[in-house]
């Protein structure tokens, strides 16, 4: 029952989707113009690099500042932030590389205040999306681990 409560609370807090490549969480403004995305692996192995990527795109306003401010948090601590999200050719991307020395789970959160209609300050909407990466021991292949196997180690 404890695992079920944890899973439900994670879904409510982060609302991310798991894909074959890892987690991906997206948010699109109410006008359907600007899309924010965070992606990363569901699992990584101790001592191995992995990346978490933040992307913002808006095809209608390709050269605009569309959000202000923004921040990227790792385990509820601000890892990076900025005054604004400035698009170039319709896209803004930040890639972060991580490498952990111990097993455990790490939460990644991307926040921004979307300004609406390409930064025209037509709407100030705060968005928050995120995902989680679990760091596994070196001696367990990522593809061979299932939730049942991890749970049995407790």
Instruction: Residue 52: give its domain's CATH number.
Output: 2.60.40.10
Poorest-confidence range of 45-54, 103-112, 138-147? 138-147
Per-residue pLDDT band at 117 (split at 50, 70, 90): confident
Q: Distance of alpha carbon 41 from its chain centroid, rounded? A: 10
What's the pLDDT at 118? 78
The mean pLDDT of 102-108, rounded to a whole number, is 98
Is residue 30 assigned to a domain?
A: yes
Is residue 150 assigned to a domain?
A: no
What's the pLDDT at 124? 83
Domain range for 100: 2-142
The mean pLDDT of 50-60, rounded to a whole number, is 97
Per-residue pLDDT band at 77 (split at 50, 70, 90): very high
Considering its fold, how many domains does the chain have in total? 1
Q: pTM of the predicted model, to two decimals?
A: 0.78
Poorest-confidence range of 29-38, 43-52, 86-95, 139-148? 139-148
Per-residue pLDDT band at 70 (split at 50, 70, 90): very high
DSSP the chain: -HHHHHHHHHHHHH--EEETTEEEEEEE-TTS--EEEEEE-SEEETT--EEEEEEEE-SSSTTSEEEEEEEEEETTEEEEEES-EE-BTTEEEEEEEE--SS-EEEEEEEEEEE-STTTSSS--EEEEEEEEEEEEPTTS-GGG--HHHHHTT-
Is residue 83 assigned to a domain?
A: yes
Is residue 22 assigned to a domain?
A: yes
Cis peptide before 12 (omega within 30 of 0): no
In the predicted structure, residue 17 carries a pLDDT above the cut 60: no
What's the pLDDT at 41? 98
Is residue 96 assigned to a domain?
A: yes
């Amino acid at each position: 029952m404890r695992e079920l409560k944890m899973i439900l609370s994670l879904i409510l807090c982060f609302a991310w989707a798991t894909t074959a490549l890892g987690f991906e969480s997206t948010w699109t403004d109410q006008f359907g113009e600007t899309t924010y995305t965070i992606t990363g692996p569901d699992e990584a192995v101790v001592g191995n690099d992995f990346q978490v990527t933040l992307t913002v795109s808006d095809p209608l306003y390709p050269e605009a500042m569309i959000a202000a401010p923004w921040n990227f948090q790792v385990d509820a601590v601000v890892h990076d932030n900025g005054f604004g999200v400035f698009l170039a050719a319709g896209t803004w991307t930040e890639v972060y590389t991580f490498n952990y020395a111990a097993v455990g789970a790490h939460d990644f959160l991307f926040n921004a205040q979307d300004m609406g209609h390409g930064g025209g300050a037509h709407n100030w909407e705060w968005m928050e999306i995120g995902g989680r990466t679990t760091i596994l021991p070196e001696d367990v292949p990522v593809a061979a681990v299932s939730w049942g196997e991890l749970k049995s180690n407790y």
